[in-house]
Amino acid sequence: MSTWVFTTPWSSLARLRVRLDFLQSSRIHPLLWSPILRSHYSALASEEEPPSMIAMRNEPYPREKPDSSIFEEHSPEYGRPSIVKPAEDVPTTSLEMLLQLVRDRNFDDAERLLSELNAVGVTPKPSFWYANVAVNIYRKVDGPQSERLKRFTTWWSLIPDASEDRDYDLKRMQGLLLGAPHIPDMPIAIRYGLIASAKGYAPQVWERTIPAVIRYCPPTVSARFLYEFRAAHFQYCRKVGEPVEETTFTEDEKAWFSLAVRSYGISGLIRPGLASLKRVPPPLAPEEAAAYGFLPSSDKVSLTSLGPAIDDLIRTTTAIAKLPRETTNWKSETQVVFEDKVPPADPSDFQNNFEHLKTAFQGKKLPRAPDVAQFIQQCAELGRPGELMLLRAIARSEGFQWKKRTSLWTLSEMLYYFYTGKYRGLILTYMRHFQAVGLPLKTGELRRRSPEDPTDYPNFKPFEPLPFSTLSRSLGFWPSRKQHALVWKVIVESTTSVPELEDLYLELLEYVKLSRGRPTLRDYNRKSWAAFRREPQEMFPQDANYIQPIPPPMLFDAAHFAPFLKMLARFKGSDRTFDILSDMHQLRIIPSIECITTLCSTLALEGSLDKLTMLLDRMESTDMIFRTYRQTKRKRTLNILAPPTVQTYTILIRYLMRQNYVEEAQKVAERLKTNLKYVSGTDDLTDEILKRLENTVRSQQEELDTQVIL
């Protein structure tokens, strides 16, 4: 035994000589304690200590840990049996090996082993462990999407039937496929729904899968999916012995088709959706009745019988019609403009701005989005996030016009990022609040810009997604034209190459045609739309027939074409501008005043004065037509241009002066004063341009007088 085991030196123990005879006394008087101590506990004198004891006491304390084997209870001869863990079960068959690999998350080896088993005709026993491999395949984008779809289908088909485990919850897979902010992978979502229905999980997946397929797929694809979804569920019911008939629809199946028609209506695809449902066998009786609440009065069909599900659907559609138009079915092509609902607040007074916006959000008249964006910028500059968070809570609180207030607040955030040049913050805000559908592919590249650039990060954290409507909770939240057009504007203005601009414009045309069910100019399905995902993806020829998600109709208007008019007119002149306006006319999109002003300014810079005069005459006649037809409440037609505004005349005067067309600029100024009754002091920029025109005319007249005198 080592001499350094005990921490207390032996000398301290040797100095105590214990005499046990005094312990025989039953009681010791306290006054006798000191004598007893002296007589019974006496220490050895230093000269009495042996040399070995002195050497032991002077040994230094060891730095190493003591050997535990010297202790009696841990020695082998002590006889205490050691604890041995039981050996793990070693897989004995290839199927057990496959399941063990999946449990250990060795997914690559598991896929190779499954391919070998399939080659020899061996099918694994269904297990929910295999769903983890399907999740891993969906998250990894490392090859052709068609191959990825095949692998996902193989593993997702290995889940057991609902009759074996009815408690299994598919919410995790649904959240991954359909709950992410990027565009869902619709072919995978379709296979997920069909396999889940064939396994008996249709009651768990139909509320989210059916609206998603209708929202992002063409009506022909969604109609076929609906019938195959029902057929798969019918086969499962027959396999487990439930009494079902193919020609009779249960209440659950009626609810599926009612939700499908409701989703068509909310997406603005009610007519092509019904046409697709009629073309796909077997024919259903309740589709036309289910569409009653969505169709205009001129298109209503005669109803023979209405079931309980149809009656409930009609009552629901009446409530949906009262929702904000940007979240439901669009029925008119209103222009994207920021209307002045309240007078703008003074930007120099922060507290007054806060009280002004707070009162506006709490009342009936909502503020303007640019004013809210300006207030957000003030909070960022002054470091006042408390007022911003309070105003945001008021704007997004439940109550009167809560959807409009929430949409307005989101647009204000996007405008703030737009004004400050932080385009990535604008894209992130849009992605968090709305579905990224109908956007250019370049949006995904801009969203994934390098994080080393601090100017790309927003000063404020992106807020949580908008709350869903109680009537369309599973349908999500569509963006309005304003938010959608602002994203397109950012992408177009950040592009400087003419070929890239032309590709973007063709992409816009394809989206518009695709959303309205028209034939496209090219095979747009060959373009990969997976750029919105977190991982970049290359193009593969196998993905040529991959399903292209469609945006809702009526989402595109003149605000989407205005940036292209401005950019392409700068590079290609008025001829290209006329071509774009012609495309808008064919798509039945009314040009806004911004589009017409761009055309006028391009003609002014080119010196096409005759065309400019004809265009102004036609625009001014439009104002007269509006005043004449105002009492008859006639709608604006495509052949009528927008009347000119003060900004239109101001831009024309400025560009004509730049090209030294002073006489023509004077004529435009006379039109401004005559047609719009313009008075000095109305607009500072216009007053400055008119004053500059007067000075130019005066200087030219003085030069002419000087030449005459000479």
Over residues 271-300, mean pLDDT: 51
Mean per-residue pLDDT, 217-222: 79
Higher pLDDT, 492 or 520: 492
What does the pLDDT average to over 658-671?
A: 89
* 525 pLDDT more than 80: no
Better-predicted residue by pLDDT, 298 or 131: 131
Query: Cα separations (Å) of 185 from 152, 529, 541?
Result: 12, 9, 17
Q: Could you state, in order of their start, the residue ranges of all structural domains in the chain?
A: 10-78, 94-327, 557-710
Environment class of 217 (CB within 10 Å of its CB; exposed 0-12, middle 13-18, buried 19+): buried
Q: Which helix (DSSP H) or strand (DSSP E) does residue 483 occupy?
A: helix 481-493
Closest CA to 288 of 308, 302, 267, 268: 302
Say if residue 464's pLDDT is above 50.
no
Both tokens of 196, joined, read 């889940």
Rounded Cα distance between 390 and 409, Å, is: 13
Q: Which residues contact 534 (CB under 8 A, 6 or more apart)?
A: 182, 448
Tens digit of each residue's pLDDT (9 = 90 or more) over 131-148: 888 888 887 766 677 788
Q: What is the mean pLDDT of the chain?
A: 70
Q: Decide if 521 contacts 509 (C-beta within 8 A).
A: yes
Closest to 395 measured CA to CA, from 466, 475, 468: 466
Q: Is the pLDDT of residue 106 over 80?
A: yes
Amino acid 150: pLDDT: 84
Question: According to the model, what pLDDT value does residue 132 have?
Answer: 85
Span of 288-292, 379-383, 412-416 with lowest mean pLDDT: 288-292
Q: Does the structure show a pLDDT above 80 at 558?
A: yes
Comparing 32-41, 72-81, 491-500, the range with the smallest average pLDDT is 32-41
Whether the Cβ atoms of residue 378 and residue 347 lie closer than 8 Å to each other: yes
In percent, the amount of the chain with pLDDT more than 90 equals 2
* CA–CA distance, 233 with 296 (Å, rounded to integer): 34
pLDDT band per the 50, 70, 90 thresholds, residue 126: confident
pLDDT-above-70 percentage for the chain: 62
Q: How many helices and strands, by DSSP H and E, does the chain display?
A: 30, 0
Return the pLDDT at 563. 92
Q: Which amino acid is at 624?
A: M
Q: What is the pLDDT of residue 564?
A: 92
601 pLDDT exceeds 70? Answer: yes
Which whole number is the average pLDDT over 192-213?
86
Check residue 291 and give its pLDDT. Answer: 42
Of the candidates 545, 571, 561, 466, which has an alpha carbon nearest to the alpha carbon of residue 512? 561
Q: Is 504 helix (H, G, I), strand (E, B) or coil?
A: helix
Q: For the beta carbon of residue 669, count every other beta carbon within 10 angstroms.
A: 22
Question: What is the model's pLDDT at position 136?
Answer: 84
What does the alpha-carbon distance between residue 288 and residue 269 come to, in Å, rounded to a whole number? 14
Give the DSSP per-residue string, 175-231: HHHHSSSS---HHHHHHHHHHHHHTT-HHHHHHHHHHHHHHHS-HHHHHHHHHHHHH
Note whether 250 and 203 are within 8 A (CB). no
Tokens describing residue 454: 């601090």
Rounded CA-CA distance 704/379 in Å is: 56
pLDDT at 93 (0 to 100):
79
- What average pLDDT does this structure show over 73-102? 63
Of residues 45 and 299, more confidently modeled: 45
What are the CA-CA distances from residue 306 to residues 266, 289, 292, 564 (Å)? 21, 7, 11, 49
Structure tokens at 615: 């265009």
- pLDDT tier at 68, thresholds 50, 70, 90: low
Query: Any idea which residue has 């070693």 for tokens?
Result: 90
Higher pLDDT, 456 or 472: 456
b/e string for 14-45 if b means 16 or more Cβ within 10 A?
beeeeeeeeeeeeeeeeeeeeeeeeeeeeeee
| pLDDT recorded at residue 384 | 81
Top mean pLDDT of 10-24, 455-469, 497-511 is at 497-511
Reduced to 3 states, what is the DSSP secondary structure of residue 314? helix
Helix axes 130-139, 107-119, angle to 10 degrees: 110
Tallying the residues shown for the chain, one arrives at 710
Give long-range contacts, CB 8 A cutoff, 24+ apart: 583-587.
583/509, 584/558, 585/638, 587/509, 587/512, 587/513, 587/516
pLDDT at 89: 59
Query: pLDDT of 349-377, one tens digit each?
Result: 788 888 888 888 888 788 888 888 888 88
The torsion angles phi and psi of 285, rounded to 5 degrees, stand at: -80, -40
Q: Is the pLDDT of residue 209 over 70?
A: yes
Contacts of 626 (CB under 8 A, 6+ apart): 636, 643
User: Would you call 570 exposed, middle or buried from its count of C-beta atoms within 10 A (0-12, 13-18, 19+)?
Assistant: middle
Instruction: Give the whole-angstrom CA distance, residue 162 versus residue 236.
Output: 10
Cα–Cα dist 357/391, whole Å: 8
Annotate 50-117 with DSSP letters as a single string: -HHHHHHHTSPPPSSPPPGGGSGGGSGGG-PPPP-PPPPPPP-SHHHHHHHHHHTT-HHHHHHHHHHH
pLDDT value for 181: 52
pLDDT of residue 505: 92
Largest distance between two CA atoms of the chain: 148
User: Above 80 in pLDDT, residue 324?
Assistant: no
Q: Is the pLDDT assigned to residue 614 strictly greater than 80? A: yes
405: nearest Cα among 391, 420, 388? 391
